[in-house]
Amino acid sequence: MTTAVARTSRWRETWDFLWLFLSPMGSKRNVYDILMPHNNLGEQSLFLNLGYWEQAQDYDSACAALALRTAGKLNLEGPFQVLDVGCGFGDQDFLWAKTWTQCRWQAINVHGEQLATARERLSQQPKEIQDRVQFTVMNACVMDLPEASVDRIVSVEAAFHFDTRQQFLAEAFRVLKPGGQIALADVIPLTDPAEWSVLKRALTKWGLRFWYTPFPNLITPVQYRASLEQLGFRNVAIEDISEQVFFPFRQYAAKRVEEPEIRRRVNPLLRGLWGMRGRSAKKGKSDGMAYVIVSAEKP
């Protein structure tokens, strides 16, 4: 299920990606202002995550598996109002709505261009799905939602972008009903940046400009748990699924970028990056990062 879009020239797009790294004061744009649907590794989907590769052989099924594994941390057997935060082009919402048929899904994203595509794709879904999925432009950190109005919150590979994640978690706690649950697929460092060398901190800050990630979001699993508990969340669980994510994704991506279809449509800079990362990937090594699924409840 892909969607044709008007695209800027390849050179212009490459320059825009490069400017994220090179602009001395930091670009006003971010990677999602540039990353249009054609820059995607899917065959049928427009997912934007690294996938869960325990059984998957291709990108579409790995991304679907990650979405199901994340939402699977929640009890969704009921007529619940679920909020999907940072919904990309909506693939996981269509999948979840087909899987958990009693829930209603409100999917939010700060990038309106992605939601225009998501809404167009929703109009191609069966009416039964259209009636239970809604896309809204909204910032995860300033939610235009009443207090205690949502039963469940889910977010796949987006919370590290939010400015800040802590502000989003406070908003999540506010809008959840008592007894509500949250599940997040997220990426964090294994060690505290406060203990890193000055050079490592500086290089990381620079690299994070490309990945649209505020530096304060670099917290360890222990700090993540503490910040949820300080907000009032209980039954916090953090599952490290790094081995089924980083290495298999990098291996797959390095092969996929050589395929003619991908060479034709995906930006050469991204192909180069995915190819390079894939060739240098080593099983069991994750550059000091952890891919985690975090879940918690509001008492």
Chain residues in the site for ligand SAM (CB under 6 A): 32, 47-49, 85-88, 91-92, 108-111, 114, 139-141, 156-158, 161-162
Instruction: Select 96 or 224, whichever has its Cβ closest to ligand SAM.
Output: 96
Instruction: Select 136 or 196, whichever has its Cβ closest to ligand SAM.
Output: 136
Q: To the nearest whole angstrom, how small is the minimum distance from the Cβ of residue 30 to ligand SAM? A: 8
Buried b (16+ CB within 10 A) or exposed e, 234-245: eebebeebbebb
Instruction: Select 149 or 196, whichever has its Cβ closest to ligand SAM.
Output: 149
Contact 146, 176 (CB under 8 A): no
Instruction: Select 88 or 248, whichever has its Cβ closest to ligand SAM.
Output: 88
Contact 53, 252 (CB under 8 A): yes
C-alpha of 138 from chain center: 15
Q: To the nearest whole angstrom, how small is the minimum distance from the Cβ of residue 141 to ligand SAM? A: 6
Nearest CA-CA partner of 128 in 111, 107, 164, 104 = 104
β 234-240/289-297 pair status: antiparallel
Instruction: Select 109 or 181, whichever has its Cβ closest to ligand SAM.
Output: 109
Q: To the nearest whole angstrom, how small is the minimum distance from the Cβ of residue 199 to ligand SAM? A: 28
Q: To the nearest whole angstrom, how small is the minimum distance from the Cβ of residue 8 to ligand SAM? A: 18
Instruction: Select 81 or 196, whichever has its Cβ closest to ligand SAM.
Output: 81
Contact 108, 138 (CB under 8 A): yes
Q: To the nearest whole angstrom, how small is the minimum distance from the Cβ of residue 164 to ligand SAM? A: 10
Q: To the nearest whole angstrom, how small is the minimum distance from the Cβ of residue 108 to ligand SAM? A: 6
